[in-house]
Amino acid sequence: MRTKQEYLDSLVKKHDNLYLDGQIISRDHESLKAAANVIGTTFDLAQDPALAKITTAKSHISGETVNRFTHIHQTPDDLHRKQDMTRMYCQKVSQCIGRCMGVDAMNAINCVSYEADRANKGQTKYHKNFLKWLERVQKEDLVGACAQTDVKGHRMKRPAEQDDPDQYLRVVEKNDKGIVVRGCKVHITFASVADEILVLPTRSLTKDEGDWAVAFAVEADHPDIKQVLSPHNLRPRGKDFKRGFDWGFVDSYVIFEDAFVPWERVFLCGETQHGGICALLFALFHRHSYSGCKPAVGDMLVGLATLAAEVNGIEKTPHVREKIAELITITELGYAAGFTASAKGEPKVYIPGVGKMDYGPGACIPDSIYANVGRCITGEAVFKEQQILCEIAGGMPATFPHEGDFLNPETSELLKKYVNRSDAMSVEEQIKFWMLFFDYTNSGASGAIAYGAMHGGGSPIMEQIAIYSQYDLEKRKDIVKTLAGMDVTSGTPGDHGV
């Protein structure tokens, strides 16, 4: 496994294909420092023996110890550890740890490539290619990003119906050596500081949409790929009021300009049914990841609210306590849903119209209903949580003076006199606290944090669709029919609860 420094060193050697506000930039550009810092943490802490149980795993390919962010989950216990690893990392860096998209895509492709080969009766070698690619990823401890969301053009039209067929990424050429792809994937978080980008479909596909049913891996600095960046960073700080951790993240438009991908990096190409399942499965694994990160964000929100209440001297007010209890409730319901999804994990997937069936080479897939209800509640709560913070903090973070004003002798003492609200904490500590509070509620990054927390891994409406379409409604209808004294003509026994 690599060290953080090895990772940082490798970044600067990559081909410059990053664009920011009209400039081409290298990967050690100031605007990417925080994002690289975040990913770097996943190397640092994986070295810590105390955390090894959750941060590392034994590869099912090589039997070697690997970073869990490159591991294929074999058991419910693996899923429990992935959830707990994610919560731990996100607590350390404050928000998104950035390597989940990669591991979630790997787990989805692991199943899909296997099943496509099986359906193709050995005509394809997707799964073998994938395992070979994965072995290298595990060995070199590479960082994967996942490019799923297409630009989509006209939302009410399917991929094949678009005026411009490139609105969904597609294969424009196939030859002996590989395929050529064109299109643009958007909102691809951490892609500019990743090593590899896993590309997969964004939606279910009809039989005539084979060109769009494609999954593959490319180098993040592939010469025919351009990344146009939106970095989301916190306000820079000097040394006097330094943060404990400088978090930040970065999104990319990843544009494929007829990029060539050799066959050994192609894991699906033309199998439309499995393309759709791939989209669903990545979403499922990723929603499960949210049962780790959202509780960690919740932990921070609970901490911010509790400390704000204490600094403001209102920590004993009943309705402040209720609001904090509300934050905890969302946080721990999100965790409990993920925990239950892990415990009920098995090598099966729900196929719309068919039901739950065996899928993949035996790797463990979290329960979809619980993964979805967990992601749904935490996604829906994003703005409500911000409202609670705003209510408890009052206007303080919105107009808090800049760091420089606390250092300027003409204003420093005056400001310290007037921002001081608590005997129990030094005013310098209070200043650091409010600055952090500002970072996560009023900075230029806070809007993007909320939008990511709402839409990342699928907006709540997407989870609702998954929940409605995958739930055993027949069983519930039968319960009612039986109680009503009606005939129960349907009656497939359900598989959730009892």
Question: Where in 259-288 is the site for its own copies (CB under 8 A)?
Answer: none
| CA distance linking residue 284 with residue 367, whole number of Å | 8
Q: Which residue has the tokens 């965790």?
A: 335
Closest to its own copies by CB, 48 vs 322, is: 322
Smallest gap from Cβ 158 to its own copies, in A, equals 13
Determine which residue in the list 160, 401, 427, 495 makes contact with its own copies, applying CB under 8 A: 401
Q: Is 356 helix (H, G, I), strand (E, B) or coil?
A: strand
Asked if residues 469 and 276 have their Cβ atoms less than 8 Å apart, the reply is no
Smallest gap from Cβ 378 to its own copies, in A, equals 11
Burial (0-12, 13-18, 19+ Cβ within 10 Å), 233: buried
Closest to its own copies by CB, 134 vs 146, is: 146
Q: Does 69 bind its own copies (CB under 8 A)?
A: no
Q: Does 162 bind its own copies (CB under 8 A)?
A: no
Residues 413-432: x where in contact with its own copies by CB under 8 A, - otherwise, as a string: -xx-xxxxxxx-----x--x
- Amino acid identity, position 430: Q
Determine which residue in the list 26, 208, 402, 491 makes contact with its own copies, applying CB under 8 A: 402
Q: Closest Cα partner for 334 from 387, 382, 377?
A: 377
For its own copies, the binding residues in 85-114 under the rule CB under 8 A are 85, 87-88, 91, 94
For its own copies, the binding residues in 318-337 under the rule CB under 8 A are 318-319, 321-322, 324-326, 328-329, 332-333, 335-337
DSSP 57-105: EE-TTT-SEEEGGGPPP-SHHHHHHHHHHHHHHHHHHSS--S-HHHHHH
Contacts of 47 (CB under 8 A, 6+ apart): 1, 3
Helix or strand holding residue 375 (H, E) = helix 368-380
Smallest gap from Cβ 427 to its own copies, in A, equals 12
For its own copies, the binding residues in 241-260 under the rule CB under 8 A are 241-245, 247, 251-253, 255, 257
Question: What secondary structure letter does DSSP report for 169?
Answer: -
Question: What secondary structure letter does DSSP report for 165?
Answer: G
Smallest gap from Cβ 113 to its own copies, in A, equals 28
Smallest gap from Cβ 162 to its own copies, in A, equals 11
Q: Does 152 bind its own copies (CB under 8 A)?
A: yes
Smallest gap from Cβ 108 to its own copies, in A, equals 20
Determine which residue in the list 62, 411, 491, 492 makes contact with its own copies, applying CB under 8 A: 411
Determine which residue in the list 33, 132, 416, 481 makes contact with its own copies, applying CB under 8 A: 481
| CA distance linking residue 298 with residue 295, whole number of Å | 5
Determine which residue in the list 22, 122, 353, 493 makes contact with its own copies, applying CB under 8 A: 22
For its own copies, the binding residues in 27-66 under the rule CB under 8 A are 54
Q: Does 306 bind its own copies (CB under 8 A)?
A: yes
Beta bridge partners of 19: 24, 228
For its own copies, the binding residues in 342-361 under the rule CB under 8 A are 343
Q: Does 370 bind its own copies (CB under 8 A)?
A: yes
Q: How many CB atoms lie within 10 A of CB 410?
A: 7
Determine which residue in the list 48, 75, 384, 492 makes contact with its own copies, applying CB under 8 A: 384
Smallest gap from Cβ 340 to its own copies, in A, equals 4
Q: Does 165 bind its own copies (CB under 8 A)?
A: no
Smallest gap from Cβ 400 to its own copies, in A, equals 7
| CA distance linking residue 122 with residue 103, whole number of Å | 26
Binding range to its own copies, per CB under 8 A, among 121-129, 260-268, 274-282, 468-476? 468-476
Burial (0-12, 13-18, 19+ Cβ within 10 Å), 236: exposed
Smallest gap from Cβ 95 to its own copies, in A, equals 10
Q: What sign does the dihedral 160-161-164-166 (CA atoms) show?
A: negative
| CA distance linking residue 214 with residue 167, whole number of Å | 14
Burial state string for 314-340 with b = 16 or more CB within 10 A and e = fewer than 16: ebeeeebeebbebbbebbebbbebbbb
Binding range to its own copies, per CB under 8 A, among 8-16, 110-118, 122-130, 462-470? 462-470
Compute how many residues bind its own copies; rule: CB under 8 A: 150
Q: How many CB atoms lie within 10 A of CB 197?
A: 30
